[in-house]
Amino acid sequence: MTPEFLIANITLFLLAIFLGFELITKVPATLHTPLMSGANAISGISIIGALIGSNVAYEGGSTALSGLLAFVAVVLAMINVVGGFAVTNRMLNMIAGKKRGGA
Amino acid sequence: MEDWISIGYLLSAALFIFGLKKLGHPRTAPFGNQLGALGMLVAVLTTVVSMQLAGNAQWELIIAGIVVGSLIGYWMAVKVEMTGMPELVAMFNGFGGAASALVALSEIQKYISNADLIPEGLELTVTMIAAGLSALVGWMTLTGSLLAMYKLKGGIEVFGKWIRTPTWGPSWLNPVKVLLLLSVFVMIFLSIEEPTNQNYLWGIIGVSCLLGIVLVLPIGGADMPVVVSLLNSLSGIAAAFTGFIIGNSVLIIAGSLVGASGLILTFIMCKAMNRTLLDVLFKSFGGDGEKQALTRTKVGSDPDEVAMMLDGAQKVIIVPGYGMAVSQCQHAVKEFADLMKEKFDTEIKYAIHPVAGRMPGHMNVLLAEANVPYEQLIEMDEINSEFPECDVALVIGANDTTNPAARSGEGPLAGMPIIDADAARTVVIIKRSLSVGYAGVDNDLFYMDKTMMLFGDGKAMMAGLNTAVKEI
């Protein structure tokens, strides 16, 4: 890891934080929970790290332990991702479905 | 990293950004959620294809993990009852934090088993700091979220016995939290010197788990959704730190996006309840076992009496609460509204408190399920001025959100905005008993002369009321 690469990553980190602050402004109370749950599904992005980790775990004679940890990480991250998006979708369909019927 | 991989990750990051933006508006929210899911799919496919091209992937285990995780997640999401939604979100959130922390742990385990892999200089420092912070935030999110889940449920069943989740937080616990946090920082610092020292590794994990528990333990009642939102923000930060360990841009971007937007959402939710985040985190919310003893009594009414009083009412405001969710009586409520409209041409509105139920928007989702028109659901600030001109306020299973004690400036409820149901000409309350709500404060509303109490299960009482109204 070169210092340039680290600086680039820190830049990404800070810019994304600023963007995140700006992204959400006024949210009606109805959407608080779906928004929370949708954002939560996105935080399951660590699935990428888990996939790469479970792969690299077999290089260089690594132990079964680090492979096993990565496998558990894959399972948990997938539960987070699939369950999170599915449950958000269910909630939103209920809210939006009603709106169409009523308006 | 090859160019096309970077482009794949860039596309997925862009999809996350648009997805989050659209999730914040009622009309575009379902599309926003789909964009987010698409972004995740792009990120996973990019990773999988690049691993396949690199030619050293162990697919059996990876595919097994993906399939098992997807099936469990999907099954839970489809099966959950609408009342159980907040608990499920809390649990998913804990799993996300744990996944990030596990990736960090797996990475460190590689160094321990093979010293040749240990990086040097700057890279070692960055990796150990990022791994330590990822562990701190990730494990804290796991234990905090699981405890939050059981707090939202109200308890845990062990061998058929129901054990109430405690809410406990003496003020001396606050400096302990700070000490625990500092000790983790010290251990992270020490681990840079000795990356293979397992004591630091497990020490960080253990203390972080404990920290998650002591952080959530004192929090209860209406503050719970705020904490879940904060933990959600933390799980994003954990993913971002994990991104630093493995040098992956999409983890850093998506993680910090969720971290920041989750924090903003947390503040918005605090504001809706007129509380600050510091109050939520460091001041215990009611339920310390100091519940007020009930000294007063009130004679209950029966549905026929209430129906007679409803005869000819011009305007009725329904105030739903968690009790409606528990008894699943939203369909009976809708039937009642239709009956009143048909018989007396009554104007019906619903007063929605921002934190009614166990999560923001809980009542909206339930009433939507019963096909209540959206425009009849009015948020608290707008409807409060309408109570003085309303004939009947029908409170169904709500307690703290209507408690006039919140206006007094004292006690656990002080300052919480409430629904002014007590301003209506007559108040009808459906509730199983006079018992106190989450905040542990007796509710004066129950004892007012103009209040009629219908003691019983929400569903049974609504059915009785509907029959009685039909017979008028």
Distance CA(B13)–CA(B7), nearest Å, equals: 10
Q: How far apart are the first and last CA of chain B?
A: 76
What CATH fold (topology level) applies to the domain B303-471?
A: Rossmann fold (3.40.50)
CB nearest to B365's CB, from A14, A45, A91 = A91
pLDDT at B153: 78
Chain B contacts of A70, Cβ < 8 Å?
Answer: 102-103, 106
Q: What is the pLDDT of residues A27-84, one digit of tens each?
A: 777 788 888 899 999 999 999 999 988 876 555 555 677 788 888 999 999 999 999 9
CB contact under 8 A, A40 and B51: no
Distance CA(B197)–CA(B102), nearest Å, equals: 17
| Domain-wise residue ranges, chain A | 27-102
* Helix, strand, coil percent values for chain A (each to nearest 5): 90, 0, 10
Distance CA(A37)–CA(A40), nearest Å, equals: 5
Are B70 and A76 in contact by the 8 Å Cβ rule? The answer is no
Any idea which residue has 């939006």 for tokens? A96
Are B238 and B138 in contact by the 8 Å Cβ rule? The answer is yes
A101 pLDDT more than 50: no
Are B407 and B418 in contact by the 8 Å Cβ rule? The answer is yes
A100 pLDDT more than 70: no
Task: Name the pTM for this structure.
Answer: 0.82
Which residue, among A32, A71, A50, A62, has the nearest Cα to B25 in the 3D structure? A32
pLDDT at B164: 72
Q: Phi-psi category of B282—alpha, beta or left, where left has phi over 0 and alpha has psi -120 to 50?
A: alpha
Three-state SS at B135: helix
Task: Fill in the amino acid letter for B128.
Answer: M
Q: Is B361 on the interface with A (CB under 8 A)?
A: yes
Active site residues of B: 400
Distance CA(B292)–CA(B379), nearest Å, equals: 30
| Domain-wise residue ranges, chain B | 80-282, 303-471
Residues 6+ positions from B191 with CB-CB distance below 8 Å = B128, B132, B197, B200, B201, B204
CB contact under 8 A, A47 and B257: no
pLDDT at B319: 94
Are B455 and B300 in contact by the 8 Å Cβ rule? The answer is yes
- Give the gap in angstroms from C-alpha A4 to the nearest C-alpha of chain B: 11
Q: Is B74 on the interface with A (CB under 8 A)?
A: yes
- Give the gap in angstroms from C-alpha B297 to the nearest C-alpha of chain A: 35
Chain B contacts of A30, Cβ < 8 Å?
Answer: 26, 360-361, 364
A97 pLDDT more than 60: no
Q: Is B96 on the interface with A (CB under 8 A)?
A: yes
CB contact under 8 A, A91 and B32: no
CB nearest to B268's CB, from A27, A72, A103 = A27
- Give the gap in angstroms from C-alpha A7 to the nearest C-alpha of chain B: 11
ipTM comes to 0.90
pLDDT at B318: 94
Measured between alpha carbons, how far is residue B9 from residues A6, A51, A81, B252 in Å?
18, 14, 17, 11
Are B100 and B235 in contact by the 8 Å Cβ rule? The answer is yes
CB contact under 8 A, B78 and A69: no
Counting one residue from chain A and one from chain B, the pairs whose CB atoms sit within 8 A come to 418
CB nearest to B26's CB, from A25, A28, A89 = A28
pLDDT at B292: 58
Ordered mean pLDDT values, 10 residues apiece, chain B (472 residues): 85 94 88 95 93 79 91 93 82 94 90 78 89 95 92 73 72 87 94 86 94 88 82 94 92 94 87 77 57 72 89 91 84 92 91 79 81 85 91 90 82 79 92 77 87 90 91 82
